[in-house]
Amino acid sequence: MPVAKVYTLKEHNIRNSQIDKDALWAIKRMQSSGAEAYIVGGAVRDMMLGRRPKDFDIATSLSPRQVQRMFWNSRIIGRRFRIVHLFFGNKIIEVTTFRSDEENFEDGRNNMYGNVEQDAKRRDFSINSLYYNPSNGQLLDFNDAMEDFRKRTIRSLIPLSYSFSEDPVRMIRALKYQATTGFTLSRDVRHAIKKNAGNIETCSISRLTEEVSKILSSGYAAAIFQNLQKFGLLIYILPILSMYLEYPAVQEALDLMDSRVKEGIESGSPAPKDEIIYMLLKPLIVFDNPEGTSPDELFREGFRQAKILISPMTPPNYELEKAIDRLLESMGYKRSRNRKSAEARVPRKKPNNMGRKSAANEELSSGPRKSRKKKKKLKEIPAEPRTLAEEHDL
């Protein structure tokens, strides 16, 4: 049986009023079927620190297929380990099944499910391993994480002999948590990061780009970049920024960017990504002779420099283009728009037919919900299946 220290409402600072209503609705529905379901990860960590979480993730004893059958607005994603996304308009709530500690990736056993204690032991750091049950207000602690909160310490749950070599991105996250929480890294974590810093080169560019994007949108980019520089990681992630990080103009730009991001988070209107990139690149892009150059030529030169400055990161081209347009407008220039440009091909947000505005509000609304049955067109299926899909349908 799982063994945990249980903390009540009087012992922690979490209240259900801090939690997204749709996440509460989803947990209530899962628990009503007899399953376990908890708010986990960064959301619990942020609420413990008195902050407003950006996302609310759920861990449950239900399998991905069981979750999908329970919620019509769901979709299973992932290859190595399947998770479920619940769609509520433009909001996504991620639901994961408790994972076992007996997986063997070499044998292909990547979807080994376990209990809540095994799932907690697999978390990267102790401050991310608390499980909150909103139905009774209990907080489950399987790893003495509350003690780490009291000591304001970040401790690794995965043995450091292979944690950072197995997944070097964990080093970035450790330094990010240090900056965002104000906690101190334990001595063994600091030593392991310095020892394994070079392993960050083995990470894919797409994963590093995603991590940099999260850093820029955190509101603590200046402190995180300083941590990455101190431990020798920034030279592998953003080599040119690491060369200019100590320049006063760059520090001032990062501080202004963080202030703008925090302001957007507090107001509920996040800063656009192109504005964040513009504020990052503004002190680094230099034009030799802007007065004698056309706006279109300035744009091409600025775009060329931007690609070099953020290399090897690969954000979408249309975000870079809009960032350069902001830079030119701040200088009093405006280029002629090219229909073939990446900005003209920016993906437009389409309505998500899978989601709903708020399942919680629908359930609380008065009166029974009218069901609209649509006539389904039956597809003709041959007697002898030609594909695995047809065999499944038969």
CATH number where 45 lies: 3.30.460.10
**H runs (alpha helix) in the chain:** 21-32, 42-48, 64-70, 116-121, 145-151, 163-166, 169-181, 187-196, 205-216, 221-230, 234-237, 239-244, 248-267, 273-281, 295-309, 317-330, 359-364, 388-393
Read off the pLDDT band of 51 (50, 70, 90): confident
pLDDT tens by residue, 16-44: 999 999 999 999 999 999 999 999 999 99
Residues 49-74, mean pLDDT to the nearest whole number: 92
Counting other chains too, the contacts that 45-52 makes at CB distance below 8 Å and 24 or more residues apart are 45/127, 45/128, 45/130, 45/181, 47/13, 47/14, 47/18, 47/19, 47/132, 48/12, 48/13, 48/14, 48/130, 48/149, 49/181, 50/13, 52/18, 52/265
Residues 134-138, mean pLDDT to the nearest whole number: 95
In a domain, 85, yes or no: yes
> For residue 89, what are its two tokens?
């308009």
Domain tally for the chain? 1
> Which residue range(s) make up the domain with 17?
1-151
User: Is residue 288 annotated as part of the catalytic site, yes or no?
Assistant: no
> For residue 342, what are its two tokens?
């990446």
User: Is residue 57 annotated as part of the catalytic site, yes or no?
Assistant: yes
In a domain, 10, yes or no: yes
Q: Alpha-carbon distance 212 to 280, whole Å? A: 12
User: Is residue 255 annotated as part of the catalytic site, yes or no?
Assistant: no
In a domain, 157, yes or no: no
Looking at 20, 46, 57, 274, which residue is catalytic? 57
CB 167 within 8 A of CB 123: no
Looking at 124, 148, 258, 325, which residue is catalytic? 124
pLDDT tens by residue, 168-220: 999 999 999 999 999 999 999 999 999 999 999 999 999 999 999 999 999 99
In a domain, 129, yes or no: yes
What's the pTM value of the predicted model, to 2 decimals? 0.81
Instruction: Name residue, tokens 């942020």.
Output: 46
In a domain, 300, yes or no: no
Q: Which of 117, 114, 37 is nearest to 71 (CA)?
A: 37
Q: Alpha-carbon distance 290 to 377, whole Å? A: 63
In a domain, 89, yes or no: yes
